[in-house]
Amino acid sequence: MKARKAIKRLQRVETLLGTVIDQYKTGTSEVHDLLDAARSSVASATQALAASPVHTPPAKAEHSGKRKLSNATRKRLSAAAKKRWAAAKREGMSSLAKPTRRAPAVRSAAVAS
């Protein structure tokens, strides 16, 4: 989790604990002391996170252009595509897309008998 997000969540927890402490008014001071200790520990965790150094994201590369195919690779790919098309035309296909599966025909009970 990023430090900024953790700080936001801890601050939200601290405000929630504060409202619970304010609304919880009973004679027992044990629960009140436990909640107050939890609130102070959350506050110290928030301060520790805020004091920690912020990590900067890595810098992007200066030149992140796309790689280009060499002439030899382009020729090999073209030859392979021509072979695929020739094989498809021999089989009578109009495209290289895979054929879709047809749903099996449902036979009625009268025809099956």
Number of structural domains, the chain? Answer: 1
Nearest in space to 31 (alpha carbons), one of 39, 21, 22: 21
What single-letter amino acid sits at 76?
R
36 in a structural domain: yes
Q: What is the structure's pLDDT at 27? A: 64
Identify whether the C-beta of residue 39 lies closer than 8 Å to the C-beta of residue 20.
no
Q: What is the structure's pLDDT at 64? A: 66
43 in a structural domain: yes
Place of tokens 């009578």: 92
44 in a structural domain: yes
Q: What is the structure's pLDDT at 106? A: 67
The whole domain housing 34 covers 3-51
Identify whether the C-beta of residue 80 lies closer than 8 Å to the C-beta of residue 88.
no
Q: What is the structure's pLDDT at 113? A: 52
Per-residue pLDDT of the chain (113 residues; tens, 9 = 90+): 788 888 899 999 999 988 888 887 766 788 888 888 999 999 999 998 888 776 777 777 777 677 888 999 999 999 999 999 898 888 888 777 776 666 666 666 655 55
The angle at the Cα of 32, spanning 26 to 42, to the nearest 5 degrees, equals 150
Which structure tokens are listed for 14?
């601290």
- Rounded distance, CA 38 to CA 18, Å? 10
Q: What is the structure's pLDDT at 20? A: 86
68 in a structural domain: no
Q: DSSP state, 27?
A: S
18 in a structural domain: yes
Calculate the dihedral angle through the C-alpha atoms of 36, 38, 40, 41, rounding to the nearest 10 degrees.
160
